[in-house]
Every structure is written in C-alpha cells, then in structure tokens.
Structure 1
Amino acid sequence: AVEVRPAGFGKGGEAFERASPFGKIPALVDGDFAISDSTAIITYMDALHPEPNLIPTEPKARARTIWYEEFADTIAQPVGVDIFFNRVVGKLLDMPHDPARADWAEAEKMPGIYDYLEAVLPDSGWLVEDRFTLADIAVACPLINVCYCSSGLKDGRWPRVKAWLDGLQARPSFAGAMALEARMLGKAAVRGGMTRARRPRGASAIS
C-alpha cells in the first residue's frame, strides 16, 4: 500500500526534504530508500512489481514508452503548467498569475499537442503495445490538468484524444487518484476563499 501525503510549497516535512533535497515533487520514501521525480519513482516501482509491467521490456516498445514519458515531461507538461497554474493554482494560493499567458498557451500550444496525439494514437486506444502502459499515464496527467480549466477537447476536433482520455479516466485507479485530487483542490479553494474558480468535476470511475 502507498500512503499519499501533500508535499511541496513548504509542506512535506523532514521525510520529503530527505527524499527531495531540491523540493522536486513527487517524492517517495520506502523504508531507508528515498527518491524524487516521477520518472525515477515509476522506474523503481515497476522494477519492484514487474507483473504487469508499465514499462515494456521489448526494445522498441520500451524506447517508445520512454519517448512518450519525455514528451509529457518536456513538451506537454510545461504547456499544461502555463494553463493550470495561471488559471487555477495561482488563484488558489494567492500567487502572481497571468490568465493571458494561459489563454495564449491554450490557443497557440495545445492544438499542436492534440494534433500529434490524434495522429499517433492507434485504433486500440493505447499509445504503446495495445495496452495500458506508463506512456498513457505520463501523457494523460498534464492533459487532465488542462481539462480541469479548459474546454478544448469538447469541440470534436480531436475525437481519438478525447476517447483515449475518457477511457483512462474511467479506470478505477485513475478515478481514485482524481477523486483525491478533487478533494485536495476543493479544500484549497475553501481555504483560499475561492468562489468562482473552476474546480475539478467528480471522476466517474489507473489500474
């Protein structure tokens, strides 16, 4: 079992600081072993629990999965942060934020990301090996954040992307994580006195 604790923005305490001396989230503490960064954590967890594996062993599929993880980290995530931070997080935490930058990122950057995914998503609905892998998790996470505060996928322009993302969010493990996230954001909204900020909708159902 994994216990999830809030961290970052000054939270997390000594255990988080030991696992992540530069404040990078997420971080993992497993007994006397501590590590930060989602890529490092999933690589460790996948080696501990290889059945079923999230990082394929077949060389080409493995390389493709790592590419999608890199695509998520270096291409999709920065755009998602521009949108989600400037529309949601900055307001929640009363930090300087720029809604115009979010609008620019949504209009100028997100269409290219959606176009790419629409072109590469196979008929199976999974990015790699016709099954659920790290590729799907990594790419979906920044897009879900964007969808919390954007209606970009609702116009029918990217039906494969929408169907893929809807399918992922229907998985019990995704639904559980999103429900926890919604509660955390809801509490932050109350603490911050938010009345109009868009809050994540309740998830209908990552296993």
Structure 2
Amino acid sequence: MIVYGSSMSPFVRKVLAFAAEKDIELETRPLGLGSDDPEFRQASPFGKIPALRDGDFGISDSTAIIAYLDALKPEPELIPAEPKARARTIWYEEFGDTILAACGTKMFFNRVVAPRFLKRDGDLAAADKAERDELPPILDYIEKVLPESGWLVEDRLTLADIAVASPFANFRHLGLDLGLERRPKLAAFIDRMLERPSFKSWIERETAFLARAA
C-alpha cells in the first residue's frame, strides 16, 4: 500500500502513526504542492493529501484512509467498539483535524511552508493571531479533558490520542512556547505520544529535513 504525501502534514502523520500502531506496512511517496502525478490524482481527484493506493483501490482523506486500514486489520482495537467511547474517539479525531490542526496550519504554513518551500512571504499576522488568540483555549481544553491516566478514551491508546498528538509535532518544529508548565497533563501527553516509535522516527526525519531546508 502506498500513501501519498509528506509526514510534515499532521494528517499524513496521523495515518502513518495509526498504521504503525496496527503494524501495517505502508510505502510513502512525498509529493510537491499541487502535484499532477496521475496515480496520486486517481486516488485524490482534488489533489488533497494524504491519499492511499492499495492495488486498484484508491482513496483520499485521512479519516477515510484510517477507516479502511482499521477494517483491514481490526486488531489492536484503536477505534473502540463501545458506543460512547467510539463517539468520543471520533470527536477527538475531528477536533484534532478541524480545530487543533487547523489552528496549527495558520502558523506552520505562514512561518515555514510559504517562505522555505514556496519562496514567498507568509501571512505572519495571521500566524501570530492564531498563536496568541486561538491556540491557548484549545490547549486549555485538552488539559481539562485529559484523564489522569493520560489517555483520552478508555484509559488506553486509541485513535483519539494519535489524532490529537499529531499536530503537536508541527508545534515542536515551530519551537512554540505552549505554556506546558501550566498544563502538566498536556505536557506529559505530548511527551508520551511523540516519543512512541510510531511518531518518533517520522519526527526525526522531519527535523532533519527542515534543518536542511533552512
């Protein structure tokens, strides 16, 4: 199976970490922005990453890809079967994608992607506003809902943890001060998740790549 897209994207990274936790082997094919690679476009008609190809089957969107991988290999159970736990897991994935990662994209795109890879100025005012106004209440929310166990759902690793953790790799690349001394549960969560082998090897590659690009 092939995943198209760079792990620098929190959505691609989420898929790669989920697959690693399932012990599913994926081949990665990084693509430039706006790639017209025909196999990629067949799997992702609108050019969005990540996209996946498994033989003659192609699909895009990280949530759809994860649903496919989970159906292929249900164990270990990373999407709980119990109805309330499943609903909460899906909520946290949605939160990670559309609230946390969306906020992070305003910073990472404008401070890193635009100047380093597109060779144009980013909207630094938008990045600063996201860091100053949007991010703190999001971090406070995670600190509030994290159980003492450190896992978001069922006191064990689930997709919820993977989805919420993924954008924090980008925050590390940005060197953001997340005020973790005031958010101890969040601090422990980030360290625990990003040190897992499913995340750590990708983050190390990204760090080296960004250092070369700088």
Return the TM-score normalized by structure 2.
0.83
Distance 1:160-1:108 versus aligned 2 partners, 3 A rule: same
Aligned residues: 189
Equivalent residue for 1:146, pick from 171, 188, 206? 171
Identity within the alignment, %: 56
Q: Which residue of 25, 44, 47 corresponds with 2:68?
A: 44
Judged with a 3 Å threshold, the aligned counterparts in structure 2 of structure 1 residues 54 and 12 are, in CA distance, closer, same or farther, namely: farther
Give 1:1-207 correspondences, 5 Å limit.
1-11=25-35, 13-93=37-117, 94-187=119-212, 189=213, 194=214
Tell me: higher relative CO, structure 1 or 2? Use CA pairs within 8 A at least 6 residues apart. 2
Contact 1:5 1:12 in 2 (8 A): no
Which residue does the alignment assign to 1:203? none
How far apart are residue 158 of structure 1 and its match?
1.2
Residue 180 of structure 2 contacts residue 186 of structure 2 at CA under 8 Å; is this kept in 1?
no
2:154 maps to amino acid: E
Deviation at 1:99, TM superposition (A): 1.7
The amino acid that maps onto 1:173 is S
SS of alignment partner, residue 29 of structure 1: strand
- Cα distance, 1:180 vs. partner? 2.9
Shift of 1:176: 1.5
Gap runs ≥5 in structure 1: 195-207
| Cα distance in 2 between the residues matched to 1:155 and 1:179 | 22
**Pair 1:32–1:184, CA change in 2 (3 A):** farther
Q: Which amino acid aligns with 1:27?
A: A
| Distance in 2 (alpha carbons) for counterparts of 1:12 and 1:146 | 29
CA 1:183–1:150 in structure 2 vs 1: closer, same or farther (change >3 Å)? closer
Give the superposition deviation at 1:115: 0.4
Q: Deviations over 1:7-34 (max 9, x none)?
A: 2413372111111010110000011110
Question: What TM-score results when the alignment is normalised by the length of structure 1?
Answer: 0.86
- The question of whether the paired residues in 2 share the 8 Å contact of 1:8 and 1:23 is answered with no
User: Partner of 2:29: helix, strand, or coil?
Assistant: coil
CA contact (8 A) 2:96 2:163 kept: yes
Q: Say if 1:19 and 1:35, in contact at 8 Å, map to a contact too.
A: yes
RMSD: 1.6
In structure 2, give the amino acid aligned to 1:137: I
Query: For 1:6-65, what per-residue CA distance to the aligned partner results, in whole angstroms no more than 9, with x for missing partners?
Result: 024133721111110101100000111100010000111011111102111111110000
Indicate the SS of the match to 2:148.
coil
Q: Please tell me whether the aligned partners of residues 127 and 135 of structure 1 are also in contact (alpha carbons under 8 angstroms).
A: yes
* Alignment correspondent of 2:4: none
C-alpha deviation, 1:154, in angstroms: 4.9
Task: Point out the more displaced range, 154-163 or 77-86.
Answer: 154-163
Q: Aligned partners of 1:153 and 1:106: how far apart in 2? A: 9
Which blocks of at least 5 consecutive residues in structure 2 are unaligned? 1-24
